[in-house]
Amino acid sequence: GEDVEQSLFLSVREGDSSVINCTYTDSSSTYLYWYKQEPGAGLQLLTYIFSNMDMKQDQRLTVLLNKKDKHLSLRIADTQTGDSAIYFCAEEGESGYSTLTFGKGTMLLVSP
């Protein structure tokens, strides 16, 4: 079955880069997503990557995809205290109707 794994916690200092990692098992994944969730709030789509891409950059965010190893990472450059949140990795399979499998989330804590 499908499974998405993430490390649970990451702590960085303001201004440093953050790298959040994710592994998945479904080789038929079509799209992979990164969502951000602040306490008591909904999910904010940060970025996504199609499975035939290796890298995608969007301002401070860089997504790297290693399809062979089924490894996805999210790099946040110049991390700010406002980036403190839980980050979820999610994959979309080939079902064709957009159901997502989420990891348990990585809590990013940015200290001044």
Partner 1 sequence: NAGVMQNPRHLVRRRGQEARLRCSPMKGHSHVYWYRQLPEEGLKFMVYLQKENIIDESGMPKERFSAEFPKEGPSILRIQQVVRGDSAAYFCASSPLLPGQGSGNTIYFGEGSWLTVV
**Interface with partner 1 (CB under 8 A):** 4, 30-31, 33, 35, 40-43, 45, 48, 50, 88, 90, 92, 95-105
Report which secondary-structure segment, H or E, holds 46: strand 43-50
Which one, 36 or 76, has the nearer CB to partner 1? 36
Nearest to 51 by CA among 35, 36, 34, 33: 33
Which one, 14 or 102, has the nearer CB to partner 1? 102
Shortest Cβ 104–partner 1 spacing (Å)? 4
Query: Quick check: 63 and 56 in contact, CB under 8 A?
Result: yes
